[in-house]
Amino acid sequence: MDGGARRRRPLRAVLLGAPGSGKGTQAERIASRLGVPAISTGDMLRDQVAAGTELGLRVRDVMAAGSLVEDDLMAEVVRARLARSDAQRGFLLDGYPRTTVQAETLERLLGATDARLDAVVLLEVPEEILVLRTLGRQRADDREDVVRERLRVYREKTEPLVGYYQGRGLLRRVDGDQAVERVTAAVLASLGG
């Protein structure tokens, strides 16, 4: 219609999946392909813990136990991050939202600037593969009891988001139990690119 090169519309998306589903790896790959920042709340919190900030000290034990940081604290972390200039051209969220309250917060934060989510991609991986993958990763919070706790918390608190986003017509399901490149391609395809 305008005859000229059209600027790509910002893509605002969430990558949803259990611990060990490959979210972090895929978020980086997909975000770089799409030219948007991958925003990992887990990485942001780990940076705070490593730097010994006040926030880091507040969340350290919760993270080590495999539990979730309070919704109010996360709301502030995400609000500040989404307000940064690089997120204005879109983003791929990894690890947020993790509760229905957080999903509502995200909607509210985006709505304040008349923005909204375009898609939520669920990486589906069978439970036994999740445990094997996560135990192979050797992070401080990856002891087997903590891995099981993280999975339990995912099922209880985060899995309800599947229905939440399905009801909003935003959910796309991708088989996360295949080679990394194939998962990346499937996610990109599900995002229409």
What tokens appear for 173 in the block?
């399901």
Distance CA 19, CA 68 (A): 12
Distance CA 124, CA 35 (A): 24
Q: Considering only the stretches 96-104, 115-123, 171-179, 180-188, report the one whose residues sit in contact with ligand AMP under the rule CB under 6 A.
A: 96-104
Other C-beta atoms closer than 10 Å to the C-beta of 101 total: 15
Q: What radius of gyration, in Å, describes the C-alpha atoms of the chain?
A: 17
Nearer to ligand AMP, 142 or 185 (CB): 142
Distance CA 192, CA 179 (A): 20
Residues 59-88 that bind ligand AMP (CB under 6 A): 62-63, 66-69, 74
Catalytic, 33? Answer: no
| Active-site option among 137, 155, 168, 182 | 137
45 contributes a contact to ligand AMP by CB under 6 A = yes
| Residue with smallest beta-carbon separation from ligand AMP | 42
Chain residues in the site for ligand AMP (CB under 6 A): 19, 41-42, 45, 62-63, 66-69, 74, 95-96, 98, 102, 150
